A = this chain, B = another copy of it.
């Protein structure tokens, strides 16, 4: 069997998106590490497709599994040599963690932010939660600062388990910060912090399956949202954010991962963002690293993993890109209520 055969079988069993290149990326990852989480991290292939591919490669005799490890067999090693596949290298800058920027003025509030969020609510599966490291949130706010999207701006945060609103407000830079979430625990936490720290934060309960209330439409300079990864859910959440923006020149920030989204899904998302009147100004992959959530053993992908162990709390394998868009036309976003399960699609791994 060749790469193409593996890819075709994976496509049959999962989705139409898996390419020969994805198979190659998985083998390149295994050449760099035998650890299952590291392989997932390095491969940049949706986890569900990766699990299917590993199973097919196992049957083909290319790899073998021992508890949490994946090893190339002699046949596998011969194959990757023949194909000229090299070990995956990240070459991430050791100073900025690959993000490309300094915290700058945001460094001043870093310690205070970290202290405050120690008491944060834990991520729960019901709302597809999973938060990024404190460092990721701080760099995110620094990125907004560097792009001119923070100082003096009105910011809407749609879903805030990452507590971006708190970090942004601590800098004292934005003119206004409004937080929407479906989870009362998060709203309560943000409210308490705002009161205790004397921050001006407006906190509102909102289910993002519903369009924004009229009072939040067309009145923000910037939105931030780390949407759920199903195509339908992602587009709906992004559309809510876009509908909150005032005019051309206003900006939106979105998190998008390769772990639960194929590049075919990325393309569909990008097409939609452009249709809504935006240009994409930045895509910084692996900008965000996630703290492992407590429901890892009940996530959808768990039973599909060919090699398994519970990863440490801060042992990042789930990363996502930071995407910035800027409106170049008046915002065009559909405002319909979404019905039913918005978290699941064939590529979903964590819900």
Contacts and interface: CB of A to CB of B under 8 A. Distances in A.
Contact of A93 (B19, B25, B93, B262): B93
A338 interface: no
Interface in A46-103: 83-86, 88-96, 98-103
Given A20-B249, A271-B274, A279-B264, A92 B100 contact: yes
Interface residues of A, number: 61
B21 A249 contact: yes
A145 interface: yes
Contacts of A326: 21, 263
Interface string A20-54: 11101100100000000000000000000000000
Given A99-B100, A281-B266, A86 B151 contact: yes
A104 B89 contact: yes
A188 interface: no
A96 B173 CA distance: 27
Contacts of A307: none
A17 interface: yes
B94 A95 contact: yes
Contacts of A95: 93-96
Contacts of A274: 267, 270-271, 274
A96 to B, nearest CB: 4
A145 B283 contact: no
Contacts of A249: 19-22, 24
B285 A145 contact: no
Given A91-B143, A93-B95, 9 more contacts: A17-B328, A21-B326, A25-B148, A28-B148, A86-B148, A86-B151, A91-B101, A267-B274, A283-B284
Nearest to A263: B279
Q: Which of A95, A98, A267 has the most CB of B within 10 A?
A: A267
Contacts of A346: none
A142 interface: yes
